[in-house]
Structure 1
Amino acid sequence: MSWKAVELQIAIPRTQDAGKIQEQMQQQGRIDQNQLAESLVKEELNKRKKVLEQEASEQLKNDQKNKEVNNHDSHNVKQETKQQEHHHKHPYLGNKVDLSR
């Protein structure tokens, strides 16, 4: 088969188009991989943020519980000391007594 001049006018631009299409298809795979890698990095960062936020909220809860327990304990200690002071007071020992008669 021989190529006629008219057929060559059509065939040559089509081969250039085919080359461009092949190059675009090869680059599309690289672009897809890059986008996938970026999305995975974003997901990982989001997961890390969530874990850190959960740890921070748990730490706050624990701190609040500790404060409540300490406040409750200190209140109990104050009540116990008051009760002990009340038990240690004798009705007339240690008080001033007037002996002048």
Structure 2
Amino acid sequence: MSWKSIEMQVALPRTQDAGKMQDNMVKQGQHFQESLAQTQRKQEERTRKRVNEFEKTEKVKNKEQHSKNLINKKTQLEQSEEEYKMNHPYLGSQIDFNG
């Protein structure tokens, strides 16, 4: 046997091993991409839910604040009417029932 045939006997199994290793690396990369995509989908879903929940709570807060503002406006109007009645320049504050 010549040296070339002996080298070929050693070289062929190594190329097959290299092919298997390369195939495994490609599969590992695909698996990594799939898991990354799945993680991103979960993160997007959490973000979407969080935004929806935030919008719901904001609507409730806005309604509560609006109702409080209405109540405050009513009480302010009542107070201003009372002050106006008490401090009117030409209307009296006492009624004379004698007569």
Matches within 5 A, 1:75-86: 75-77=76-78, 79=81
Number of aligned residues: 86
State the identity as a percent: 8
Give 5+ residue unaligned stretches, structure 1.
84-88
CA distance in 2, matches of 1:69, 1:31: 57
Structure with larger RCO (C-alpha < 8 A, sep 6+)? 2
How large is the RMSD of aligned CA atoms in angstroms?
2.6
| TM-score between the two structures when normalised by the length of structure 1 | 0.67
The match for 2:55 is 54
Deviations, residues 3-47 of structure 1 (Å, cap 9, x unaligned): 921211211111111111111222222221111110000011111
Query: Moved runs in structure 1, 4+ residues, more than 4 A?
Result: none
Letter in structure 1 aligned against 2:14: P
The match for 2:88 is none
The match for 2:95 is 91
CA distance in 2, matches of 1:44, 1:21: 35
| TM-score between the two structures when normalised by the length of structure 2 | 0.68
CA distance in 2, matches of 1:9, 1:90: 122
Find the residue that maps to 2:96 and give its secondary structure. coil
